[in-house]
Structure 1
Amino acid sequence: MAIEARFFEARDGVQLAWRETGEGAPVVLLHGLFSSAEVNWIKFGTAERVAAEGFRVIMPDLRVHGSSAAPHDVGHFPPDVLVDDLEDLVAHLGLSDFDLGGFSLGARTSVRAVLAGMSPRRLILGGMGLAGLAGWKRRGEFFKRVIAEYESAKRGDDVWLSVQFMKTMKVDRIAAGHLLDSFTDTAPDALAALTMPVLVVCGDKDHDNGSAEELVAALADARLAMIPGTHMSSVTEPALGEAIARFLATA
């Protein structure tokens, strides 16, 4: 299912892309690091499954990813710049009552947006555990090594798969490095602000961002859906779309 990109201008003048499918109540889904709306949500049928439940599925390409611009000027990367971009997209589309979610970096960005004052009806956190929210700076250091070892990584190295994915996605390394520096951590006690219903959906072999069970326990109104897969493979599973669609249709 090919979906044409649309574009809007962020507050700093950077051109950002989004795609959407379906009609009905809006749900905004944010992809993971080095991925895109196409790979994370569209290619493996997740967006189509969610849209089938009567939702308008809105999927931005985050800054530096997919069809969005990848500026090299460090001034375009203040702390939590992805939250700024999400706020600008919501304003551009005139959304006032919507659901929000993401996978990995998209989940982290969704949490940061709520802490910044955004009030989605429900929240979806994919591929995320408690340690992943509190330790994004540490995760950022890993991805800085991915960039540094882009040309030298060998099969079997801990960065190998991420380097190959980054090459496949043609991610701009300079812009990606600046983006990593914009990430901020979320202290566990700050999660008290997440009072809406939350779905935590995670692969049964995905430990990249810590324990999904611990994240559920730290939230006021959360449920856990375990699906097959690792951090890299779980987004390819039909079970991801099924879990999100079921949550949005019943929660």
Structure 2
Amino acid sequence: MQSRTGLTVRTFAPAQTAGQPPVLLVHGFGSDGGRDWVDTGIARALTAAGRVVIAPDLRGHGDSPAPATVAEVAVPALVADLVTVVNEAGAEAFDVVGYSLGARLAWELPAAAPGRLGRAVLGGLSPVEPFAAVDVLALRRAVADGVEPADPFTAMIAGMVRAHGPRATGLARCVEGLRATPFAPRSWAGGTPPVFVAGADDVMTRGMEQVAQSVDGARWVSVPGDHQGALTGDAFRRTVLEVLAG
């Protein structure tokens, strides 16, 4: 389905609804709704539990359009896209599961959609902005002209972005937009405390447990795996189902 935002949105309906709000699934950077949620079996498990599932591809990702400007992929714009997708689904209330970048965006949803967000699972969330150290000019040159960045971290990000071929320019803009609106965890604005899930070997989430402890009523769940392995593992899927079942 194509949203008014231009985003591609996958919607899955159960054979018999459980009478609970739909679940918005928000994928990570460089991925898409199919890889993070369909291929892992999470979307199927949720529909089997009677939940409607909404899984958009973020702007610049998957089958959604590439951003024309950096402002289109700053955090406020990406979050506004998600609220529009939920509105178009006719959902007043909704739950959310976000992974990595998706969790970063989900953190903003209670403020962007006041009183509407129920349960939240925030997986693979970093306590700092991962792209803060990227040399933006070097990244642009790497994507446009193939000039290898001198900085190893920027070179690694450039390689990740260029692996997406024609989508590389849009993803590089996403890096710029996220870098311009870094994660600065404030108090959780939702009525229901979130559940944080992190892989036991995920270095990207180091320090996030302290942030979780600052949120009244929040839970911290450790599952096996590194950043990618945690998402694809059975323990993460079981945790999502348990949390959303309430």
Same fold, TM-score > 0.5, yes or no: yes
Higher deviation after alignment, 37-46 or 206-215: 206-215
Give CA-to-partner distance per residue, 1:152-182, whole Å, 9 cap, x none.
669xx55676556545544623222332333
| Aligned counterpart for 1:124 among listed residues 108, 121, 125 | 121
Verify: 1:181 aligned to 2:176, yes or no: yes
Aligned residue among 192, 195, 202 for 2:198: 202
Q: Does residue 167 of structure 2 align to residue 172 of structure 1? A: yes
- After superposition, the Cα gap between the structure-2 partners of 1:147 and 1:224, relative to the gap in structure 1 and judged at 3 Å, is farther
Which residues of structure 1 form unaligned runs of 5+?
1-5
Distance in 2 between the 1:147 and 1:103 partners?
Answer: 26
The answer on whether the counterparts of 1:140 and 1:180 sit within 8 Å (CA) in structure 2 is no
CA contact (8 A) 1:49 1:242 kept: no
Letter aligned with residue 11 of structure 2 = E
1:194-249, Cα deviation, whole Å (9 max, x unpaired): 33131111111112143232132021221122111111322221222111011111
Give 1:127's aligned amino acid. Answer: G
Tell me, which stretches of 5 or more residues in structure 2 are unaligned? none
Q: What is the deviation of 1:97?
A: 1.5
**Residue in 2 that maps onto 1:3:** none
> 4+ residue runs of structure 1 moved beyond 6 angstroms?
none
Tell me: CA distance 1:9–1:244, structure 2 relative to 1, closer, same or farther (3 Å): same
1:78–1:160 Cα change, 3 Å:
closer
Give the match for residue 131 of structure 2: 139
- The percentage of counterpart residues that share the same residue type is 27
Is residue 21 of structure 1 aligned with residue 8 of structure 2?
Answer: no
The answer (yes or no) to whether the contact 1:27–1:55 under 8 Å persists in 2 is yes
Q: Deviations over 1:84-110 (max 9, x none)?
A: 101111111111121012001101101
**Which residue of the partner structure matches residue 46 of structure 1?**
42
Q: Which of residues 101, 105, 108 in structure 1 aligns to 2:104? A: 108
The answer on whether the counterparts of 1:18 and 1:61 sit within 8 Å (CA) in structure 2 is yes
Moved more, 59-68 or 167-176: 167-176
RMSD: 2.7
Q: 1:86 and 2:82 equivalent?
A: yes
Q: Please give the alpha-carbon distance, in whole angstroms, between the structure 1 residues aligned to 2:140 and 2:42.
A: 29
Assess, with a 3 A threshold, how the Cα gap between structure 1 residues 211 and 54 changes in structure 2: closer, same or farther. Answer: farther
Alpha-carbon distance change, 141 to 80 in structure 1, aligned in 2, over 3 angstroms = farther
